[in-house]
Amino acid sequence: MTQHMKPLLPDRIDTLFINCHVATMADNALSIIEKAALTVTGKTISWIGKEKEIPDLLKTKDPKIIDCHNGWILPGFVECHTHLVWAGSRSNEFGMRLNGIIYEEISKKGGGIFSTVKATRNASKDELFTLASKRVNVLLKQGITILEIKSGYGLNLKTELKILEVIRLLDKNFPLHIEATFLGAHALPSEFANNPDGYIDLVTHTMLPKVKAQGIATAVDTFCEPIAFTLPQTKKVFEKAKDLGFNIKLHAEQLSNSYGAALASGFNALSCDHLEYLSLSGAKKMAQHNVTAVLLPGAFYFLKETKKPPVDTFRDLKIPMAVSTDLNPGSSPVHSMTLILNMACMLFDMTCEEALLGSTINGAKALGLEQSKGSIEVGKDVDLVVWDIDTPADLCYLAGLTPIDRVMITGRIHQTT
């Protein structure tokens, strides 16, 4: 429902936000209401409009009143692509890179993704939970209220399940809504170095059924690139995942055009992510199957890539664009959504409106949650952030901004300052 429609008045109001401006993100635009008010009933937005138009009836319901002091309310950020459960440190590797040592050399010295895999395998569930909690706390303070986390640093059954269990614990212990994605086919573990098909068999026939049986992930992702897995291997994983009822996502066309986006679209994927090397035919397939393009400027920046994703094509074909941090220790150790918004504008030439839609409603689309989350509309879940800014564009312009006043998630207030 949009602000132009007259909603039915709620019988009960728990909270009334006043003295605010709202960017609702409804109707694929900022959809701004200045001098606004909105009401919350339980976990749901029950009324929104101009403050001077608050129906008298609502004023008699004696709600808790929150004065936003002329601040802006936006939907909580939807962070739809992270790998934030890991152990170990790659700081030394960053120093090596700055000294001109290339990734292959670092990898030979025991660094790279396999150092993360080793440390993650060796860490206990409690240790992983403590490490990941620090990162989730940072994201919460940045205004992220919905978060996706992938497994993928285990690369064996035991550790992949351990990571997914940690994600479930994070969901239980933090107010954020957290979605777990199984990314067993992230990289080829060294014990399968000469047998990639054997590893894909393990992912397909052993890991996927176990993950399904435990109910600890809703989506399955794969890394389809010459340095990871081939198109036929990716297809094998997706066929089984689809059979088991998982949603599909794909790391596609990041470093080369491997035709992964077209394959994933054929499986009605929720999203294809990265997409710097996406072809026009791949984009058309995505449009045909309503697949969201998740753009990850943090990885583009950190890897010093030069080929940009085809943003104009996404616009032409009306493919929804989401943006995300891709928070991970190797290619995007970025913990800030507002910094990512700035990068989306500066590096990928997105408009502020596109970047903000990308971190709210289109992020929700990338997770299949757009019916209940990602915008401020009557009947939707209450995931709100109150910002002390002059205009929504400030969130893109003032890179790294974190002056959040308070966050309201599923109807509960969480003070962040």
Relative to beta strand 177-185, strand 219-224 is parallel
CB of 67 to Zn ion, least distance (A): 40
- Give the residue with the Cβ less far from Zn ion, 276 or 326: 326
Name the 3-class secondary structure at 53. Answer: helix
Name the 3-class secondary structure at 350. Answer: coil
- Give the residue with the Cβ less far from Zn ion, 296 or 378: 296
CB of 45 to Zn ion, least distance (A): 32
Number of residues in contact with Zn ion, rule: CB under 5 A? 1
Cβ atoms of residues 248 and 234 within 8 Å: no
Residue number with the smallest Cβ distance to Zn ion: 326
- Give the residue with the Cβ less far from Zn ion, 326 or 370: 326
CB of 161 to Zn ion, least distance (A): 20
Q: Which residue is it, tokens 């990308």?
A: 358
- Give the residue with the Cβ less far from Zn ion, 326 or 354: 326
CB of 299 to Zn ion, least distance (A): 7
- Give the residue with the Cβ less far from Zn ion, 296 or 384: 296
What is the C-alpha separation between 297 and 278, in angstroms, rounded?
Answer: 15
What is the C-alpha separation between 408 and 39, in angstroms, rounded?
Answer: 12
Phi, psi of 300 (to 5 degrees): -60, -45
Q: Could you say which residues in the range 32-91 bind Zn ion, by CB under 5 A?
A: none
Site string for Zn ion, 300-339 (x = CB under 5 A): --------------------------x-------------
Cβ atoms of residues 36 and 21 within 8 Å: yes
Nearest to 77 by CA among 279, 413, 341, 289: 341
CB of 412 to Zn ion, least distance (A): 30
CB of 274 to Zn ion, least distance (A): 7
What is the C-alpha separation between 391 and 334, in angstroms, rounded?
Answer: 24
- Give the residue with the Cβ less far from Zn ion, 233 or 325: 325
What is the C-alpha separation between 67 and 37, in angstroms, rounded?
Answer: 10
Nearest to 85 by CA among 156, 181, 4: 181
**Residues at the site binding Zn ion, with contacts judged by CB under 5 A:** 326
